[in-house]
């Protein structure tokens, strides 16, 4: 029996330089995400974390473009709030499907399943599908936007108060929640989308990466081989997907479009492999920007259509 799904909307974009992804959750919901899940026989509920906040205005506050982490306080509070909701979903036996929002929300959401109350000492893998490495720390970042930090944070690097939450947002962990580098796989990095400091950290930790250069040289098989190797090694998988990893011809609704990204069939192969493993424990779809959306001749939003087809493969 499949776990019921809790769709968790995080309408927050202060972690990046463009604000349109704050409307991502609403765009997906209004274009039929919940109806789609029901049509596919999946039980789901929806929680908008802004609606659960005591200070909902923090989601729409003006960005603070200064300091080691831009909009530090807002990023921290939203990450904690989103992380707490993910923790609650796991506690209730649900499969969290987080929709953003920019990728800074993953500072709080990605580590939750590592809490011993869920992981029980099992090997938990992390699959990061993204045109960017997201492996900066406040010390190495050029822009100081927090959407460039979450993978580094998931590996235990960067400011401790970012990304070390468990049990409904508590920040005081005796041991920081972090993924083992050998259980992390990054897919889809574009040559012009990444910075050397990020790659240096991942190489230092021996994190496996498959770039678009690798895919263009070796075909989709390099993606699948790396994915299969990780899935064989771990017991459970957290999957986070920044839509900017996709080619803009097919997935235009993102803040930073890619002309060299993955094609839909690449993504569907990834979804099929993860689904077949039976190890998926959490999904994140981030950086959908309805302001950049384009439509088919029949009037359907291209990016939303892709997301729905992708989820159909991932959740079958």
pLDDT tens digits, 57-102? 999 888 888 889 999 999 999 998 999 999 999 999 999 999 999 9
The dihedral built from the CA positions of residue 68, 71, 74 and 78, taken in this order, carries a sign that is negative
* In the chain, where the domains are located: 5-314
Q: Are 23 and 291 in contact (CB under 8 A)?
A: yes
Query: Residue 124: pLDDT above 50?
Result: yes
Q: Which residue has the higher pLDDT, 155 or 259?
A: 155
Give residue-wise pLDDT tens across range 30-63.
999 999 999 999 999 999 999 988 889 999 888 8
Residues 6 or more apart whose CB falls under 8 angstroms from that of 175 comprise none
The CATH-assigned architecture of domain 5-314 is 3-Layer(aba) Sandwich (3.40)
Q: How confident is the model at residue 175 (pLDDT cuts 50, 70, 90)?
A: low
- Least Cα distance to 183 among 262, 276, 275, 281 occurs for 281
Query: Residue 153: pLDDT above 60?
Result: yes
- Least Cα distance to 110 among 221, 17, 241 occurs for 241
Residues 6 or more apart whose CB falls under 8 angstroms from that of 222 comprise 210, 214, 215
Mean pLDDT of the chain: 92
Q: Which residue has the higher pLDDT, 177 or 82?
A: 82
Distances (CA, A) of 313 to 28, 31, 250: 17, 19, 17
What integer pLDDT is reported at residue 50 of this predicted model? 96
Tokens found for residue 243: 């839509």
CB count in 10 Å sphere of residue 179: 22
Q: How confident is the model at residue 212 (pLDDT cuts 50, 70, 90)?
A: very high
pTM: 0.95
Give residue-wise pLDDT tens across range 282-297.
999 999 999 999 999 9
Query: Residue 298: pLDDT above 80?
Result: yes
């Amino acid at each position: 029996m499949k776990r019921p799904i809790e769709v968790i909307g995080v309408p927050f974009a202060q972690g990046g330089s463009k604000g349109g992804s704050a409307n991502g959750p609403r765009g997906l919901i209004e274009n039929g995400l919940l109806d789609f899940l029901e049509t596919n026989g999946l039980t789901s509920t929806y929680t908008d974390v802004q609606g659960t906040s005591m200070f909902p205005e923090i989601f729409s506050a003006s960005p603070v473009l200064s300091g080691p982490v831009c909009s530090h306080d807002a990023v921290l509070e939203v990450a904690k709030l989103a992380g707490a909701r993910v923790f609650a979903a796991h506690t209730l036996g649900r499969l969290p499907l987080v929709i953003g929002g920019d990728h800074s929300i993953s500072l709080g959401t990605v580590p939750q399943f590592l809490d011993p109350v869920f992981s029980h000492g099992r090997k938990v893998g992390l699959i990061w599908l993204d045109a960017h490495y997201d492996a900066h720390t406040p010390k190495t970042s050029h822009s100081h936007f927090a959407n460039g930090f979450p993978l580094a944070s998931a590996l235990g690097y960067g400011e401790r108060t970012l990304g070390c939450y468990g049990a409904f947002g508590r920040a005081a962990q005796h041991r920081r929640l972090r993924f083992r580098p050998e259980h992390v796989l990054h897919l889809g990095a574009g040559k012009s989308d990444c910075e050397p400091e990020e790659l240096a950290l991942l190489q230092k930790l021996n994190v496996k990466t498959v770039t678009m250069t690798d895919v263009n040289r070796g075909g989709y098989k390099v993606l699948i081989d790396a994915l299969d190797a990780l899935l064989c090694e771990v017991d459970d998988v957290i999957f986070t997907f920044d839509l900017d990893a996709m080619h803009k011809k097919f997935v235009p609704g993102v803040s930073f479009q890619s002309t060299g990204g993955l094609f839909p069939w690449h993504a569907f192969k990834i979804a099929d492999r993860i689904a077949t493993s039976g190890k998926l424990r959490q999904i994140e779809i981030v950086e959908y920007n309805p302001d950049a959306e384009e439509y088919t001749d029949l009037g359907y939003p291209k990016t939303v259509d892709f997301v729905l087809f992708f989820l159909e493969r991932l959740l079958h």
